[in-house]
Amino acid sequence: MTIKALMNPVKGAPGYSLGDARELYFNERIGAGDDPRRQEARKRLAKVFVRAAAAGLPASTLLVNLTRQHARAVRDHILTYDKAGGGKIGPDSVKRDLAMMKALIGHALREFDLKKTAHNPFEGLEIGAASGRENEIAACDKREGVVV
pLDDT in tens, 108-138: 999 999 999 999 999 999 987 655 655 555 5
Rounded distance between C-alpha atoms, residue 47 and residue 33, angstroms = 19
DSSP characters over the chain: --HHHHHSPPTT----BHHHHHHHHIIIII-SSS-HHHHHHHHHHHHHHHHHHHTT--TTSBGGG--HHHHHHHHHHHTTPBPTTSSBPPHHHHHHHHHHHHHHHHHHHHHTT-TTT---TTTT-B-HHHHT-HHHHHHHTSSS-SB-
Share of the chain above pLDDT 90, in %: 63
pLDDT at 89 over 60: yes
With CA atoms as reference, report the closest residue to 68 among 125, 22, 106.
125
Q: What is the pLDDT of residue 129?
A: 60
62: β partners: 17
Rounded distance between C-alpha atoms, residue 145 and residue 84, angstroms = 26
pLDDT bin (cut points 50, 70, 90) of residue 11 is very low
Q: What is the pLDDT of residue 31?
A: 87
pTM of the model: 0.77
pLDDT at 10 over 50: no
Q: What is the pLDDT of residue 80?
A: 92
| 11-25, 31-45, 48-62, 72-86: range with highest mean pLDDT | 48-62
Average pLDDT over residues 86-110: 93
pLDDT, mean over the chain: 84
The interaxial angle of helices 18-25 and 91-111, nearest 10 deg, is: 100
